[in-house]
Structure 1
Amino acid sequence: MARTIGSHGPTTLEAIRKAGVRLIFEHGYEAMSLRQLAAEVGIQAGSLYNHISTKQELLFDLVQDHMNDLLRELDVALAGKTDPADRLRAFVAFHVTYHMTRKREVFIVNSELRSLEPKHYEAMVTLRGVYEQRLAQILSDGVAEGVFEVVDIQVATFAILALLTGLCSWYRPGGRLTREAIIAAHEKLVLSGVAPHAAAAAPRKTAKRARNLVAG
Structure 2
Amino acid sequence: MARTAGSHSGITGPKVRQTALRLFAEHGYAAVSMRQIAGEVGVQAGALYNYTPDKQSLLFDLMQAHMVELMAAMPQDSSLAPIDQLEAFVRFHIAFHHDRPDAVFIAYMELRNLSEPNFAVIEDMRRSYEERLRAILTAGQGIGAWDVADAQIASFAVIAMLTGVNTWFRSGGRLRLDQVQDQYWHMVRNAVGAS
The bucket for the TM-score relative to the shorter chain is: over 0.9
Structural mapping, 1:50-61, within 5 Å: 50-61=50-61
Q: What's the TM-score, normalizing by structure 1? A: 0.85
Q: Which residue matches 2:144?
A: 146
Structural mapping, 1:55-94, within 5 Å: 55-74=55-74, 77-79=75-77, 81-94=79-92
Q: In 1, are the aligned partners of 2:86 and 2:133 still within 8 Å (CA)? A: yes
- Provide structure 1 residue ranges, at least 5 long, that are not aligned to the other structure: 198-216
Q: Distance in 2 between matches of 1:46 and 1:124?
A: 28
- Is it true that 1:196 corresponds to 2:175 in the alignment? no
Q: Deviations over 1:128-178 (max 9, x none)?
A: 000000000000000111212111111111111111111121112211000
Q: Deviations over 1:81-116 (max 9, x none)?
A: 420000000000000101111111000010001100
For residue 189 of structure 1, what is the amino acid of its counterpart? M
Q: In 1, are the aligned partners of 2:78 and 2:85 still within 8 Å (CA)? A: no
Q: Distance in 1 between matches of 2:163 and 2:191?
A: 16
Q: Distance in 2 between matches of 1:64 and 1:34?
A: 19
Q: Which residue matches 1:202?
A: none
How well do the aligned residues superpose, as a CA RMSD in angstroms? 1.4
Structural mapping, 1:19-168, within 5 Å: 19-74=19-74, 77-79=75-77, 81-168=79-166
Q: Distance in 2 between matches of 1:5 and 1:153?
A: 55
For residue 18 of structure 1, what is the amino acid of its counterpart? Q
Q: Which residue matches 1:208?
A: none
Alpha-carbon shift at residue 5 of structure 1 (Å): 8.6
Q: Distance in 2 between matches of 1:23 and 1:6?
A: 23
Alpha-carbon shift at residue 187 of structure 1 (Å): 0.6
Report the identity percentage.
42
Q: Which residue matches 2:10?
A: 10
Q: 1:56 to 1:190 in 2, by over 3 A?
A: same
- Provide structure 2 residue ranges, at least 5 long, that are not aligned to the other structure: none
Q: Distance in 2 between matches of 1:45 and 1:125?
A: 31
Alpha-carbon shift at residue 80 of structure 1 (Å): 6.0
Q: What's the TM-score, normalizing by structure 2? A: 0.94
Q: In 2, are the aligned partners of 1:164 and 1:186 still within 8 Å (CA)? A: yes
Q: Secondary structure in 2 aligned to 1:78?
A: coil
